[in-house]
Structure 1
């Protein structure tokens, strides 16, 4: 079964697509670039969709974005809610927690849980607090890290 001929005015040559695909770090954008690179090389849409592991309608959507606004439009679309969940602690509360953590070089997750519950009435799960402290660099990974936060020994 033959469909209609795909008409795309490519703004970039094939070597550009390959280079851009190899340089991209975001997995979502990398898939789109690979798909358009394969289409640019002459692969049929169904084959591209199968190779990339997406539905043919997804490849069509990516192509329509490219036709509409070029590479910028293709990469501008993001999946999901980028804002994320609202934090349990305000910025001010977190700064107080950070102060507390910096006063004690051996500050632990359990200490943080108790301190936050006592001072702000906010209940975190152990894993939630651990993740927060690790992301913000407030947990000592080793004794040397704790000593580093403690300052030089005189």
Structure 2
């Protein structure tokens, strides 16, 4: 069973490396410019101020960090107050070891305890591994928006997947 804990300032370098790898080498994050550690620290501070978790996953407390995950507001309007959007990132050399599955389940459990109603993920349609992970966790594909974004000189389709937390 992996070890999951709250992120701290000491995790900033790891999170920055993982995000920058996703930015530079994948369609997992539709950004083009790498982020700085200062940016990630401000991001973490903002998440904490808003009361949203950022979790770190490791094999054990003494092993290197394998990934991180979080959630936050889906949209800023009052009608979406119980809807959250999540993200999770696993280091490339740690993928395929069950960390994504464990971290996603932890995010779902935490969001349920916090009485959120629905968790939403926006995924690149070509990210078949992430889509499969979400389906395995009980997410449903809600819609695909063709050519919703652009990265690496090509248009990308956006798949919204969701899971109802409160019935």
What's the TM-score once normalised by structure 2's chain length? 0.21
Which structure's residues are more often strand, by fraction?
Answer: 2
- Which has the greater radius of gyration? 1
Which structure exhibits the higher relative contact order, with contacts defined as CA atoms closer than 8 Å and separated by 6 or more residues?
2
What's the TM-score once normalised by structure 1's chain length? 0.22
